Structure 1
Amino acid sequence: MKDAVQLGEDWSLDHDGTGIPARVPGCVHTDLLAADLIPDPFLGTNEHEVEWVGRRSWTYTRPLDATQSAHERADLVFDGIDTAARITLDGQSLARTRNMHRSYRFDVTGRSGELRVEFASAYEEAAAIRELTGERPNVYPAPSQYIRKMACSFGWDWGPTVVTAGLWRPVRIERWSTARLAKVRPLVTVDGTTGRVELRVDLERTERGSGRPLTARASVAGVETHVSVEGDAATLALDVPDVHLWWPRGYGEQPLYDVELTLLDDTGTAELDTWQHRIGFRTVEIDQSADDHGTGFTFVVNGVRVFVRGINWIPDDVLPSRVTPERYRTRLTQAAEANVDLVRIWGGGIYEDDAFYDVCDELGLMVWQDFPFACSAYPEEQPLRGEVEAEARENVVRLMPHPSLVLWNGNNENLWGFREWGWEDELAGNSWGEGYYLGLLPRVVAELDPTRAYTAGSPWSGSWDHHPNDPEHGTFHSWEVWNRLDYTEYRNEVPRFVAEFGWQAPPAVTTLRRTLPGERLAPDSPGMLHHQKAEDGNGKLQRGLERHFAAPEGDFDRWHYLTQVVQARAVATGIEHWRANWPRCAGTVVWQLNDCWPVSSWSAVDGDGRLKPLHHELRRVYADRLLSLQPAVGEPELVLSNLGATPWTTTVTLRLMRADGTMAGQTRLRATAGARQVTRVPVPRSLAPAPDSAKEFLVADADGLRALHFPVRDKEFGYPEPRFTVVTETVGGDPDTVDVVVTAQTLVRDLLLQPDRVAPQARADRGLVTLLPGERARIRLTGARGAGANAVRAALFCVEPA
């Protein structure tokens, strides 16, 4: 049987002629941090202090002995090398690498000596390739298009410039005899209640194993089969009766089946190699048929049309070797708790570790996987073209067992960039990636993983017959609103599928205090500005705030609260509107779930893992049942959006309220939204506030859900001075858990408890809540041992009169 020995220890990193201990997986930055040789690049403006690390060469060494073994063959396997490296053993060259997204295997049988991995600066490698291919345009002043490396290492509009190098995934010695399983491709399909698994197997043989008859044996769910293998390839097919389908969360369960494949010697008894994976049976199609509104883009899972409740994912750390399976589970569980059912892995990052997809399989989170191309024109000449094909082939095969993986996507915004951003003239006929997105990559997917859909890019209208970012055709990125307009402008379009949109807000106050030690926090303080990477990011934050609220001059806490309110409202406004237009609009993928460091950004979870109010708002607007009030010509409309599998019949209480808390009118409406359907109900004219009223607003309540309609913006509305009482109650004798009970004496709009202000690790179970006079809200606070009413009250914010 093949055996493997991990090579995580005994590495040394050369630092100016002195060896320092190194850990694998890891990178230069993590080793220098552990040796206290560089400051934490996440703190203050230390990013500038570590810039030199990415601009010089580095060498890792360790002893290696592959001479003693009962096996015929010893392979040195690197699961990930970041990025341009020369590898030698005992002074003899093994290979040169130039791709972070690939693994590498070298025959080192009978060899020993010093193993050296010499890394060139990624900047130097990119410059050398640029000399070969010529210049190509890029949205950012970085050379990411010339090197197969995580593009956001070079900085992004939410990320620092921390250009890594190192052995970022495990290294091991594998010893084996006769033959090994070199590649296993499981093609998983389902017809009715019968699942089919076809295992396409490629073998590698030793010289003595060449031509020997072997046996491959496979099993799944009690079904077994075996084949005799005389060459280097075989196919095993298993038909599994009465399978249970894998569903996205909210649509059903996520049953997973263990597939086991064993390679046996010519006696049929001795095991040479094994392969195990969990699979799920489901069908996924993307309906891109034309209709009266243009060209659709609707996910159809097991025959059910799905309104996608998605979130975009970026690398969870700019030093990706630090992201553990436990961290993946924490972050993806946060997505699931927000009622997310799809995670898009964005093209400026990486193909994530298998642990990421394992969690998605378990939680029912569909995965939309970008190939790693983003916001740049990519040369198609060698050596890049060969690297692109090699990485695509490897990662398609690696990831295809996962039932959560539902879509391959060629790139992020490059087709749009070619047509919209002046690239076409600048390129003057030079290659820019189109051959990858419309040629190479779809061919690779069709050959290796024909059970899954492929789309050329995001955004993409389906062909060059339409603008790549045409809202009426295919996928659409909505960034004009954040960049230039008020968030209410989301209501002016009904795209077929919104693959990116979002609004910024700063991270939690405790995150900022940790990140900016000793700094007096202000929107324009040095550290705050350094941790705002978007072009005119603070200006856009301020303009978004001032369109709705009076600017809180000199009051950082108030500014912080209001920008978080605006972020939550902005995203909710878009999703409520687009859900109201299902099935014409078939999904939203919010930018973004997470951060790779502490920063003001579009995230719902900040760089320290704390939830922004947006996270709670996503849980509301992504729930199966959503109640909203949508502005319309004439009177507002009440919208019941039901993504559940059963009809939703309810009684809605509609109230016309005055700012002083008195009621001007009320009615009850009986309404039904069918399974996965939307129902619109006109608001009775007698209850509709005047379009310019600063004293009246509309409230709809049903089944514990609430929708609000204020006819004017907050700074124009006649809010009373908010008055409310606060009481804390210990829960079940647990000093770490308290209920915060807030009772309103007046209208209290968008009440928010910021839990980290009570205790750094505290967490609240709800975000923004609006109370009418006499109403009570109960907020559960965990991780806040001994929190009293005074500390809690200091952490409560709400909208105040202008």
Structure 2
Amino acid sequence: MGCGFGIILLFVVHFVDAQTRQSLNGDWLLKDESGEYLDLNAKVPGGIYTDLMNNGVLDNIYAGFNDVEYKWVARSNWSYYTTFEVREALTDYYTINLVLEGVDTFSTILINDVEVGTTQNMFVKYIFNITEQIKVGDNTIEVKFLSPISAADDLAAKHEQNYVVPPECVPDSYKGECHVNYLRKIPASFSWDWGPAFPSVGIWKDIYLQGYYCTLIEYVVAEVLDTGDNWTLSIDTYFSPPADIVGFLGFELETANEPIIVRNWTILTVPNEYGEVVNTTEIVVPKTSVETWWPNGYGKQPLYTLGVSFDSVFDYSYKEIKIGFRKIELIQDELEMGRSFYFQVNDVPVFAMGVNSIPFDILPENSYNQERLNHFMSSVATYTEMNMIRVWGGGVYESDLFYQLADEYGLMIWQDFVFASSMYPADDDFLSNVKSEVNHQVKRIQSHPSLALWGGNNENEGNLASNYFNTADNFEVYKADYIKLYIDTVRDEMRRITKNANFVDSSPSNGIETDSEGYVSLDPGSLIYGDVHFYTNNRDSFDTSIYPIPRFSSEYGFQSLPSVSSWLTVTDNLTDLSINSDFMKHRQHHPDGNDPLKNLIEFQLELPSEDNEYYDEALIYYTQIIQAMSIKIETEHYRRHMGRVDNDGRGYTMGALFWQLNDVWVAPSWSSIDYTGKWKMLHYFVPGFFSQELVTGHANSDNQLEVYHILNKEYGVGEKWINLTIYAWDSFTPVNSTQFVGEFEPVTSTLIATLDIDQYLSDSGCGSVEEARFNCFIHFVAGLGTITLTPSNYFFPSKFKEANLVTSNLEILAVDNFDAEGLRFLIALRADAPCLFVWLDAGDTKGHFLENGFIQHSLVTTVIFVADEPTTVESLQATLTVTHVKDPKYFPTKV
């Protein structure tokens, strides 16, 4: 019976079990081409490094110098193979497909020793028709992987007959591999300045057989359009061929009232010009029947289930997705100078407060680990008011769980396509490969309400415009390739599939101004258009004059070192913790090495003597202070320019996304959470500098203290008070205080006061005009009535190394468990003078503090520790330590 007879028999016949999926996940075997390794145990989904570790062939790849020791793995060709049983019921279907959701990367696939397909893109779902190859009973499958190093070299050699596509290799300091830009594979797997080279191979996502008679639903892309009193839900349902099928296409949308049910009679005709069989249905959803989805900090994140079913004589197919009702716009209005660049959600301007993420592990199968994802996403949304994550282009399109959690937490996603910091080829084969990738990934992700923006690439427009890769002599060729790839292929394919998606060609870019300049601007980092990236590691990072004043800052960061307990998971040699050890130099991939870490400290702080036994520990701790304070200062700098502009047209800043959230191994990096999941001081600072309302101050070029009130959204109506309280370094009793009152507009930074620093402190009782700045510091807070609305903030009028700090004794008074599960503990601290950057460390006890790295300006302070798993007071006490900048163990009293 052919599929085309469905219209006659629709009400007569309906096959039972109309589609079947048989998973091939589980235990496989593994071998290498040379025959040295045969019949090793393997897990699918998985990857070669994990399997070789599990078989004892490799030690912990994340430890020591193993990234270099194990380079041979990626230079070998490996095969995964297994036997599986097929029951007769499956072979009754007209079509049996082998579906691979993710294959890394170059492979040849054989079923019963017959080649059924090849793969060449890690980010594509591959579907191979194996109806003729499959049989009842036992079957074999083998996936033969080509070394990604060999594949990259071969493609580069072939292309370079015409011209080189730079960079040919990563910098030597990366200890990495060459020509990754020829592959559609995680670019960072060939190494980056924050990670090792582990170019894995393997079946890294699900693999299964799928049988059906005539067709099934392959993708559902649901987009929400604002049409006044109603939402219009536009649903594109994509089917697997063949076509010319008749049946009912049904939609059921959960709402706050009765479900909305739509049932269409559908005739699937021949594929469109793009080879797709697709139905478009629009459903009108009254705004009164659903709640609006908002970013974190702006409202709730209600999600609604949309079920889509196809029911015919032959097949029944069903897909279910979660959607949210919202409108996200990227506003780029003309201004007197330049254009705006900000996100507007449901007609409300939103200052984007967020972070850039890299892969959650260097091994792709681990990057999708549910426990790790939950930890990082909750660390962003539950404990901070961040509202955006930029998924960086050198990494990976994240797992479905990642986007689901972003939907649930209200984290808008700036999703780069996976192209970063390189030129790329633009031959027909490469562009066709990329087009398949864009097609799959956009259909997979676009329905998520958290998806706010697609970005064409990371930094490649800037690299081309600035001649970073020495492309000027052949600029027109590279520019033509750039346009073919990011505009004609990536952008156009994305726009073809979507109806209301936001897109920027690159980051940084000048937004739509870039388009008017022919897609490669003369200055992609302009401060009056689009977004900017900014890094420096050789200037005083506490000096706000070094930072740009852009429309949107989408990348900025400073390095620090992970905590001692994290280092000890990858080395058992304490001498490795020296900043000058071979191990530490090996782990530092930035071409400038570790010197900037120490130099940035020395701008602000006095280090202990190098012969102090705690010197290495102190240096690690001090790097985290400098990172946290530098990001805080830079972030508040950007936030002070919200809603205002200077004489050069700079300002109206509406976004700050710092670099970076996470790590892929234990190493010096820009992360706020290290690879073990431990929060650095920076992450503890995030709730403060990303509070929706904040008081902040900085010293301008005239040595005046400018005090600003920052308000992202309407928060507390009425006249608010702002208190400036002055403390001396040797006392918990305030020296003086000043109060300002006023009413403040949202989406605005308001200048409250301009004070001569030295005179103000001197008049407040901090000593002479010449000495006052070294004796005192200022505490800021704002409130309404009896309610405090902002977190504590501070202004330090002198460098810490010049201030008259006191070598205070700080001790843990008590540790008490105050819940029945043994998860939450109250820690009391006592000091005999104000302490800077009080740092509690729980050692091997996994968890986090609700406050850390804080300024203690009271005799006793209490802090809550939240353990990841049940523990006892005794266990926590055994690992708990506390330190501060002038800890006597760093600066013992001289006899």
Question: Structure 2: how far apart are the matches of 1:379 and 1:736?
Answer: 53
Q: Could you say which residue in structure 1 is the equivalent of 2:374?
A: 329
Q: Could you say which residue in structure 1 is the equivalent of 2:29?
A: 12
**Local SS of the residue matching 1:653:** strand
Question: Structure 2: how far apart are the matches of 1:674 and 1:551?
Answer: 43
Matches within 5 A, 1:184-333: 184-205=220-241, 211-221=244-254, 222-232=259-269, 233-241=278-286, 242=288, 243-266=290-313, 272-322=316-366, 323-333=368-378
Deviation at 1:551, TM superposition (A): 3.0
Contact 1:726–1:789, Cα closer than 8 Å, also in 2:
no
Deviations 1:532-561 (A, max 9, x none): 222224111111111111233431111111
Contact 2:706–2:755, Cα closer than 8 Å, also in 1:
no
**Local SS of the residue matching 2:463:** helix
1:121 to 147, 152, 166: 147
- Which has the larger displacement, 404-413 or 531-540? 531-540
Counterpart residue identity of residue 487, structure 2: L
Contact 1:738–1:787, Cα closer than 8 Å, also in 2:
no
* Alignment partner of 1:496 is 2:535: no
Q: Could you say which residue in structure 1 is the equivalent of 2:579?
A: 523
Deviation at 1:706, TM superposition (A): 2.3
2:530 to 474, 495, 502: 474
Contact 1:647–1:673, Cα closer than 8 Å, also in 2:
no
- Which has the larger displacement, 584-593 or 315-324? 315-324
2:794 to 683, 692, 708: 708
Question: Structure 1: how far apart are the matches of 2:547 and 2:462?
Answer: 21
Deviation at 1:356, TM superposition (A): 0.7
Deviation at 1:71, TM superposition (A): 2.1
CA gap of 1:231–1:786, structure 2 versus 1, over 3 A, is closer
Contact 1:82–1:165, Cα closer than 8 Å, also in 2:
yes
Question: Structure 1: how far apart are the matches of 2:321 and 2:352?
Answer: 27
Question: Structure 2: how far apart are the matches of 1:519 and 1:634?
Answer: 44
Question: Structure 1: how far apart are the matches of 2:876 and 2:419?
Answer: 51
Question: Structure 2: how far apart are the matches of 1:107 and 1:74?
Answer: 6
Contact 2:253–2:306, Cα closer than 8 Å, also in 1:
yes
Counterpart residue identity of residue 130, structure 1: A
CA gap of 1:746–1:190, structure 2 versus 1, over 3 A, is same
Question: Structure 1: how far apart are the matches of 2:670 and 2:770?
Answer: 31
Q: Could you say which residue in structure 1 is the equivalent of 2:489?
A: 440
Counterpart residue identity of residue 21, structure 1: N
Q: Could you say which residue in structure 1 is the equivalent of 2:275?
A: none
1:340 to 381, 386, 411: 386
Q: Could you say which residue in structure 1 is the equivalent of 2:628?
A: 568
Contact 2:806–2:886, Cα closer than 8 Å, also in 1:
no
Deviation at 1:118, TM superposition (A): 0.9
Question: Taking structure 2 as the reference length, what is the TM-score of the superposition?
Answer: 0.85
- Which has the larger displacement, 411-420 or 675-684? 675-684
Contact 1:736–1:786, Cα closer than 8 Å, also in 2:
no
Deviations 1:659-708 (A, max 9, x none): 33365533222233333332221155553465873223323233263222
Q: Could you say which residue in structure 2 is the equivalent of 1:512?
A: 567
1:47 to 49, 67, 71: 67
**Local SS of the residue matching 2:195:** coil
Q: Could you say which residue in structure 1 is the equivalent of 2:693?
A: 625
Deviation at 1:788, TM superposition (A): 8.9
Counterpart residue identity of residue 776, structure 1: V
Question: Structure 2: how far apart are the matches of 1:651 and 1:691?
Answer: 30
CA gap of 1:451–1:483, structure 2 versus 1, over 3 A, is farther
Question: Structure 1: how far apart are the matches of 2:778 and 2:545?
Answer: 21
Contact 1:179–1:203, Cα closer than 8 Å, also in 2:
yes
Deviation at 1:739, TM superposition (A): 1.9
Question: Taking structure 1 as the reference length, what is the TM-score of the superposition?
Answer: 0.94
Contact 1:650–1:670, Cα closer than 8 Å, also in 2:
yes
2:753 to 679, 682, 696: 682
Counterpart residue identity of residue 105, structure 1: I
Deviations 1:372-410 (A, max 9, x none): 000000010132111011101111111111010010000
Question: Structure 2: how far apart are the matches of 1:9 and 1:318?
Answer: 22
**Local SS of the residue matching 1:714:** coil
- Which has the larger displacement, 57-66 or 601-610? 57-66
- Which has the larger displacement, 127-136 or 248-257? 127-136
Contact 2:845–2:876, Cα closer than 8 Å, also in 1:
no
Deviation at 1:800, TM superposition (A): 5.8
Contact 1:84–1:122, Cα closer than 8 Å, also in 2:
yes
> Any gaps of 5 or more consecutive residues in structure 1?
none
Q: Could you say which residue in structure 2 is the equivalent of 1:652?
A: 722
Q: Which runs of 4+ in 1 moved over 6 A?
A: none
Deviation at 1:114, TM superposition (A): 2.5
- Which has the larger displacement, 294-303 or 569-578? 294-303
Q: Could you say which residue in structure 2 is the equivalent of 1:726?
A: 812
Q: Could you say which residue in structure 2 is the equivalent of 1:27?
A: 47
Contact 1:312–1:346, Cα closer than 8 Å, also in 2:
yes
Contact 1:505–1:541, Cα closer than 8 Å, also in 2:
yes
CA gap of 1:800–1:673, structure 2 versus 1, over 3 A, is farther
Contact 1:75–1:174, Cα closer than 8 Å, also in 2:
yes
Question: Structure 1: how far apart are the matches of 2:75 and 2:40?
Answer: 19
Deviation at 1:724, TM superposition (A): 3.8
- Which has the larger displacement, 589-598 or 433-442? 433-442
Counterpart residue identity of residue 41, structure 1: I
Q: Could you say which residue in structure 2 is the equivalent of 1:696?
A: 776
CA gap of 1:511–1:724, structure 2 versus 1, over 3 A, is closer
Counterpart residue identity of residue 786, structure 1: V
Deviation at 1:526, TM superposition (A): 2.7
Counterpart residue identity of residue 215, structure 1: F
Aligned residues: 792
Contact 2:833–2:859, Cα closer than 8 Å, also in 1:
no
Deviation at 1:457, TM superposition (A): 0.5
- Which has the larger displacement, 393-402 or 708-717? 708-717
Deviation at 1:792, TM superposition (A): 7.5
Contact 1:66–1:74, Cα closer than 8 Å, also in 2:
no
Counterpart residue identity of residue 507, structure 2: S
Q: Could you say which residue in structure 2 is the equivalent of 1:637?
A: 706
Contact 1:75–1:173, Cα closer than 8 Å, also in 2:
yes
Question: Structure 2: how far apart are the matches of 1:790 and 1:28?
Answer: 40
Counterpart residue identity of residue 342, structure 1: M
Question: Structure 1: how far apart are the matches of 2:885 and 2:337?
Answer: 41
Deviations 1:263-315 (A, max 9, x none): 1114xxx7521111011111111112232353321001110111000110110
CA gap of 1:725–1:599, structure 2 versus 1, over 3 A, is closer
Deviations 1:352-382 (A, max 9, x none): 1111101111110101100000000001013
CA gap of 1:675–1:296, structure 2 versus 1, over 3 A, is closer
- Which has the larger displacement, 656-665 or 223-232? 656-665
Deviation at 1:755, TM superposition (A): 2.4
Question: Structure 2: how far apart are the matches of 1:487 and 1:52?
Answer: 44
Q: Could you say which residue in structure 1 is the equivalent of 2:166?
A: 137
Contact 1:691–1:711, Cα closer than 8 Å, also in 2:
no
Q: Could you say which residue in structure 2 is the equivalent of 1:417?
A: 463
CA gap of 1:146–1:683, structure 2 versus 1, over 3 A, is same
2:830 to 727, 730, 743: 743
Question: Structure 2: how far apart are the matches of 1:682 and 1:182?
Answer: 60
* Alignment partner of 1:777 is 2:861: yes
Question: Structure 2: how far apart are the matches of 1:720 and 1:771?
Answer: 13
Contact 1:259–1:276, Cα closer than 8 Å, also in 2:
yes
Q: Could you say which residue in structure 1 is the equivalent of 2:175?
A: none
Deviation at 1:67, TM superposition (A): 7.0
- Which has the larger displacement, 12-21 or 688-697? 688-697
Question: Structure 2: how far apart are the matches of 1:36 and 1:793?
Answer: 35
Counterpart residue identity of residue 11, structure 1: W
Counterpart residue identity of residue 461, structure 2: L
**Local SS of the residue matching 1:294:** coil
- Which has the larger displacement, 431-440 or 140-149? 431-440
Matches within 5 A, 1:67-86: 68=88, 69=90, 70-86=92-108
Counterpart residue identity of residue 233, structure 2: V
Q: Could you say which residue in structure 1 is the equivalent of 2:884?
A: 797
CA gap of 1:683–1:748, structure 2 versus 1, over 3 A, is farther
* Alignment partner of 1:552 is 2:622: no
